Each structure stands twice: as C-alpha cells, then as structure tokens.
Amino acid sequence: MQSQTESEQAYLISQRFRGFLPVVVDVETGGLIPKTDALLDIASVLLRLDDDGWLRLGETHRFHVLPFPNANIEPAALEVNRIDPNHPLRPAIPERDALQRVFREVRQELHNTGCTRAILVGHNAHFDLSFLNEAITRAGIKRNPFHPFSVFDTATLGGVAFGQTVLARAADAAGIDWDADAAHSAAYDAEQTAKLFCKIVNRFRPTFESALNTPSHDKDKE
C-alpha cells in the first residue's frame, strides 16, 4: 500500500514512460535461434516509482521451462548458462504455464498502475523479446501484455550513460556489484539489468522533469 496518494506524488509511472510499464525480462536458452532453440529459463522484474519519484525494483518472478517438443539445444549454450535440462530436481514447467504466470503478474501491475501496455527492458533486449514472441506463438497465447517490438535496451542505455555496453562492465561503471559465478541465471541477470536500468533512469530524472515542465513545441513542428 502506498503511503502517498497519487496527487501527492511527483508523477506516476504511467506518466514517466508515456503509458508504458517497463518490465525487465531475461531468458536463458538452448541457442540463438528463437524458432528452433529451447527456452529454458525466464525471469521478470517489476519496477515501481517510490513515493519520492525514484525508480526501484519490485518483485522478481522466475520459472524454469521445459523445452518444447523437438527443441534444439546447443551444448555451447549450456556451457554458458550452466543449465542441465534433464536434471531430475529442476522444477521446470511447460512454456505456456511459465508465460501465463509471468503475464498474470504483469497484467496485475498494469491494472494497479493505470499503464496501457508493458514494454520489455533487457540487455540486448531484442534477443529476449524474440524468444518471448516465439514462445507466445507456440503457446497460442492471445493476450500478450508486452509491446510486440518496442523495447528499452540497457546495452544502448549503458553505452550512453556509462560508456559501457557489456552488462557486467556497465554494472561496474554504475557501482553495481557483479557476481560472475551467479551470472547467466535468468533471475540474476534480470535483477542486475533492472538495477542498471533504474540507475540510468534515475540519473536522467532532472532531464525528464525539465521536459515535463516545458511547454510542448509540437505545434511549431506541424
């Protein structure tokens, strides 16, 4: 429960991103090709503006995913993400179930915030979005809360803000601790990406607020 009413806040998250709700998503996969390679692990991190107008991390939701039938899994990919798809203790669930659980939380957040649609935040975000969109197609999910092609990419934003495009290096430049042994877990990478995105958004807060208080010049451009 928020301690301040909407009218007492500087602005709402629905105003901060033009009605979009940023949701960080990271996927770990069996390769690089969305149509053929398995989705093995997915995590999402909700983001919220606190009562003082700073962007903060909310809840993380993470699910191990069963490879879809006849999915390709490259050994080189497993060396990177250290996932054993056949481990008897891996609590994996079908793609459709994993997506529905992620989407349920996103839809609830959309309802709570008054945002119109979620927008995926990721590091090299189109990689994550492409696997997400292919999984949605395979699962036959009709109500996708995410924008189908727009993203916030922290590789680009990290380059702009800190001169670094690699996630570990951008995190280090932003003063975010990095554990190389934990990296390439969907939950860890999503949370680190979320921290980086929040750092960048908060760093540019004065620029946003200046634009918010500047009369629009759109009519002059028409």
**pLDDT tens-digit map of 194-207:** 999 999 999 999 99
Residue 135 has pLDDT above 60, yes or no: yes
**Domain ranges for the chain:** 7-208
Thinking of the domain 7-208, which architecture would CATH place it in?
2-Layer Sandwich (3.30)
* Distance from C-alpha of 25 to C-alpha of 131, rounded to nearest angstrom: 11
**pLDDT tens-digit map of 142-162:** 999 999 999 999 999 999 999
**pLDDT tens-digit map of 85-111:** 999 999 999 999 999 999 999 999 999
Active site residues: 184
Token pair of 12 as six digits: 């709402």
Q: In the chain, helix, strand, coil percent, each to 5?
A: 40, 20, 35
Residue 219 has pLDDT above 70, yes or no: no
